[in-house]
Structure 1
Amino acid sequence: MSSRKPSFQNYDRDEAEEYSGFLLSNAATAKDFITRTTDPDAIRYLVEEHTIDLDVPGAGIQLKEAVLTSETAPLDVKQTVAQRNADLGDMLVPETVERNARTALAVGKPIVLYGPTGTGKTYFAKQLALATCVDYEVYTATPTWTPADITGSIQPETHDGDITYHRRAGCVSQGIQQAERYGDNYAVIIDEITRADISQVFGPLYTAIEDQDQVIFRDDEGNGLTLNDNLKLICTMNMSDRTVNELDNAITRRFAMIELSRYDRDARAELFDDWIGELDPGPDRNIDTDELKDLFENHHRGINNGTTTNSEGGIMEFGPMHYVDVTKFLKHACKPSGPYAGEAVMAVGQAFATYVAPRLLNTASLPQINRIASHYETLDDQYRFDMSAPADLARRQAAAEEREMGVSAYE
């Protein structure tokens, strides 16, 4: 490698290697090289061999933008640059779910990932975006959303008493702009869409999805933005909010509806094995991992399907992804220096009371709350783990609900 001032002729991989020392120390020249080269392998070398440092404040941002906006850089190289700090791990959803979602996005169809809470919809949406796009942005729908949050709006701005107006792009419009800047796929994830009025908020998109010549927004320069295949729209929806049949037919006709189920027993067992396998079963943690796995399965089955002694059936739909938070809690809490060192029996119940029970109780009716409490009391009797904490939490919420109903009854 040479550190002398380069005299580029071809701006290709060979010159990238020859002058790598200089490019490493001169961000302006590296940026110029990336902008001028027509050799994809040259950019790949600069990025993958760490010849250019993308983490340097200021200069690193410029080099990152140069790669992302390059017409020469391959998509996977752009992904490497944009997603340097992304660490979402392996995909956990069933293979058919992943294949269906990828196919829908590839043919230009926006998708809705739907299913019970805890099936990994948001996590999978991010993984899908990282796998198929340069980068992505996540937005969470709210009841106050209007079409402007999707497509954009005109906003007033006051300066020295004068009022001017500028155009503010909505989340989809911003995604289109990013896809145009990067010249590749860019994803917009809209999480929990049923929190908003879908028919009203998504209305302007419906025509645009069917007619890609339809302008949905104009920027301050008057440029019209239209949907195109480079914008990948991924939405998530909890089944506890609304069933598919209750959705506006307009969205089910225009979006690919991808269901994430509760996972069958074998799939759950594989997930539980992976998560619990990260725990040390030795005396330092004092966690019986086999018993913990059995607790996960019986807790999940009791919530979803009911118990053998209960003829009422399941309490509510509840996915398995919540249990990963329990194992993360135990991994830290029960280590020799952790706050629950030597007290794994208590720590398990506290983890359920901290992460799992509140999520169950959040949308439960009073009869469901009472059944959740009974379920935890049954688990407390069946296992060495102290499950009284989540049981007490459910009983207190049931009592609060009953007091509320009692007050309402006399008003």
Structure 2
Amino acid sequence: MSECDAPGDEANAASEEEFIAAPLVPYSIDNIVADGCFIGRDKLQQILDRFSSKKNLILQGPPGTGKTWLARRLAFALIGQRDDNKVRAVQFHPNLSYEDFIRGWRPMGDGKLSLVDGPFMEMIEIAINDPGSNYVVVIEEVNRGNPAQIFGEMLTLLEADKRTPSEALELSYRRFDGERVFIPKNLYVIGTMNIADRSLALVDLALRRRFAFIDLEPKLGKPWRDWVQTRYGFDTQTLDRIESNTTALNEMISADSGLGPQYRVGHSYVTPTGDNGIKDPSAWFCQVVETEIGPLLDEYWFDSPATSKKAKERLLEGF
């Protein structure tokens, strides 16, 4: 597992005798909705169509709007199957470099240096050798690193109209004189971007021009209510209070001149996960406020504890 692979992407190895490949089943927009997406089918289809044509897509939005969750499922829908072997997840961070992501020299056990391909070059090679299938690189928190520096000359090759051998470029580190690399048409990139973190870098115009950007919003409405009620047995009264209180909190956040709409609390915070039912929905929500939303609000209003306290009290009205 390389330095920039996202946690959890390295599967436990199994012997050849023990490994039995599970049959791959088709995956589509309908499966995304069935998995618990609260965006309408038509909107999801528009996003998928844009991803397919632009080849590079970034999902941006407030915390808790399901950016990473949706990115992986859009990747599966583009591939047409829920095939983890065709999706590579990478986490960007401040220490990530071109040498980690594309290619660079690495010390080996014998003390010598070896030229090692990063995850992006590995996916390029795999996609070129399997032109009949689509492959996707999922980049989590694109703006937590320095995308222009990490991609290097690959930034130019990302453009949809440069995905041909005739547009190939020499890399900073070449395996042989004259080696040129291009990104194949069947390799797609989807990233996520947190727009509420003050510490993160702004994305430069060069990157923006090569990606389509989709804004994700907090989704508290009928699809969310139906999902939580059907799957976890929440009563209507509790759902009403959670929705109205969270909506009121988000209006308060949006109206704050020091924050704004990008700091709203996403629906993921108030959507249970897992297969186990929730015995006491009210107690569950209070725990979420105490351990997840509350600390987030304390961070938002770090210079105004009274405002944070008021926001938490408003969120817990009726509970």
Query: What TM bracket, shorter-length normalisation?
Result: 0.7 to 0.9
Correspondence for 2:117 among 165, 169, 180 = 169
RMSD over aligned Cα, in angstroms?
A: 3.8
**Structure 1 position 148 matched with structure 2 position 99:** yes
SS of residue in 2 equivalent to 1:331: coil
The whole-number CA distance in structure 1 between the counterparts of 2:173 and 2:120 is: 12
| Residue identity in the other structure for 1:306 | M
Any idea what the Cα deviations from partners look like across 1:229-255, whole Å, max 9, x if unmatched?
111111100111379994311011111
Distance 1:182 1:279 in 2: 42
Partner of 1:214: 169
Q: CA deviation at 1:147?
A: 1.6
- Spell out, residue by residue over 1:3-25, the C-alpha distance to the aligned partner (whole angstroms, 9 max, x if none): xxxxxxxxxxxxxxxxxxxxxxx
1:295 maps to a residue whose letter is: R
Q: What is the CA distance between 1:306 and its match in structure 2?
A: 2.2
Separation in 2, partners of 1:90, 1:329: 13
1:114 and 2:79 matched: no
Q: Is contact 2:106-2:115 (8 Å) kept? A: yes
Where in structure 1 are there 5+ consecutive unaligned residues? Answer: 1-55, 68-76, 282-288, 335-342, 386-411
| Mapped contact 1:330–1:351 kept (Cα < 8 A) | no
Aligned residues between the structures: 287
Q: TM-score, with normalisation over the residues of structure 1?
A: 0.59
Counting only pairs closer than 5 Å after superposition, residues 177-216 of structure 1 correspond to structure 2 as 177-183=125-131, 184-210=133-159, 211-212=162-163, 213-216=168-171
* Cα distance, 1:186–1:359 mapped onto 2, change above 3 Å: farther
Q: Where does residue 320 of structure 1 map in the other structure?
A: 267
Distance in 2 (alpha carbons) for counterparts of 1:242 and 1:104: 29
CA–CA distance in 2 between the matches of 1:347 and 1:97?
31
TM-score under structure 2 length normalisation? 0.74
> Are 2:240 and 1:294 aligned?
yes
| 365-374 or 188-197, which deviates more | 365-374
Native 8 Å contact 2:294 2:312 kept in 1: no
Aligned pair partner of 2:72 in 120, 126, 141 = 126
The percent of aligned pairs where both chains have the same amino acid is 21
Alignment-derived partner of residue 8 in structure 2: none
Are 1:270 and 2:223 counterparts?
yes
- State the alpha-carbon separation in 2 of the partners of residues 106 and 189 from structure 1: 14
1:301-380, aligned counterparts within 5 Å?
Answer: 301-306=247-252, 316-325=263-272, 331-332=277-278, 334=279, 345-361=282-298, 363-367=299-303, 370-380=306-316
- Mapped contact 1:207–1:214 kept (Cα < 8 A): no
Q: Is the 8 A contact 1:303 1:372 kept in 2?
A: no
Larger radius of gyration: 1
The higher relative CO (CA closer than 8 Å, separation ≥ 6) is in 2
1:192-228 Cα offsets, whole Å, 9 max, x none, are 1111123322333222224442254878689754211
The structure richer in helix per residue is: 1
For residue 366 of structure 1, give the secondary structure of its aligned residue in structure 2: coil
CA contact (8 A) 2:115 2:175 kept: yes
Instruction: Report the AA paired with residue 231 of structure 2.
Output: E
1:100 Cα deviation after fit:
3.4
In 1, distance between residues paired with 2:47 and 2:201?
20
Check whether the contact 2:143–2:202 (CA below 8 A) recurs between aligned residues: no
